[in-house]
Structure 1
């Protein structure tokens, strides 16, 4: 009887319906009624809310992971990275092991983010008579055994190296940088 069409005059007819109108049993059951909730709409709404909550959770997780990485990057030392505070004061040793000076600071290229030069201090007492030497970062090699940077020159060669007084810092323009690189390139051969 479910697949047969019923006429309104038969046993499944609704009161007040047109006697000439025919319907299948499934059509009668498929019509929503006002007596209960529409579960398909509720299910779709819950699914959409779940997708939105999942997307928000993933976004927060990625942001938190990025923040944690940035914090570790700023504070941790590892095989490839060292904190700037640990570089300052590190000894610089010549090719034969003699003490040449210590790293005062380093200059970072604003556009590339790369260290261009370390500034090494040498000599002087309490800041008087001290000379500062711009050292191309690429010419410094860290030696764990010496707990310092090795600069492949001698103390005698350093006497002729480009230097400046703390109160008279040069303009690190292209010409000056080329002169410094040429000096250390020739000296380290």
Structure 2
């Protein structure tokens, strides 16, 4: 399912509300509702499905999105491994209505992950630096390269 399918308020529907008949599309894709993004697929540049977004983690004090929690592997939800992917590592593919992550499938299977009943302390700066480094990002979300 994609963000347009999960849109309970119609914020992404094309509407002709302007008096000059200019199509109005709402707030997306620059500003989007979190509940419409949970469940969206994540693919890599090789068009392989890496998983889907299970949760979006917010830095409460700054208001920034910190991580998307990606589910990868397993079968029918059994044996899935969860990965905290820095939000800055994801890009939105508005044509295919999915997220893109520039990580080969084999490399993602080696990423630091966790079980659904054993979440890491994502507020721990050492953990956060390690995750950002693994995805080639600085703590601020900029690419190291």
Structure 2 SS opposite 1:125: coil
Q: In the alignment, which residue of structure 2 is the partner of 1:182? A: 133
Following the alignment from structure 1 to structure 2, what is the Cα–Cα distance between the partners of residues 147 and 96? 16
Q: How does 1:127-138 map to 2 (within 5 A)?
A: 127-138=77-88
Aligned pair partner of 1:81 in 20, 31, 56: 31
What is the root-mean-square deviation in Å for CA atoms of aligned residues?
A: 2.0
* Paired position in structure 2 for 1:108: 58
- CA shift, 1:145, in A, is 2.1
- Specify the structure having the higher radius of gyration (Cα): 1
Could you state the TM-score of these two structures normalised by the residue count of structure 2? 0.73
Report 1:135-146 matches (<5 A).
Answer: 135-146=85-96
Alpha-carbon offset, residue 128 of structure 1:
2.1
Q: Aligned partners of 1:94 and 1:139: how far apart in 2?
A: 11
* Richer in helix (by share): 1
Could you tell me the TM-score, scaled by structure 1's length? 0.57
How much has 1:171 moved relative to structure 2?
Answer: 1.1
For residues 27 and 60 of structure 2, the distance between their equivalents in structure 1, rounded to whole angstroms, comes to 24
Unaligned runs of 5+ in 2: 1-8, 12-25, 138-143
State the SS of the aligned residue for 1:133.
Answer: strand
How much has 1:83 moved relative to structure 2?
A: 1.1
Counterpart in 1 of 2:45? Answer: 95
Aligned counterparts of 2:109 and 2:89: Cα–Cα separation in 1 = 17
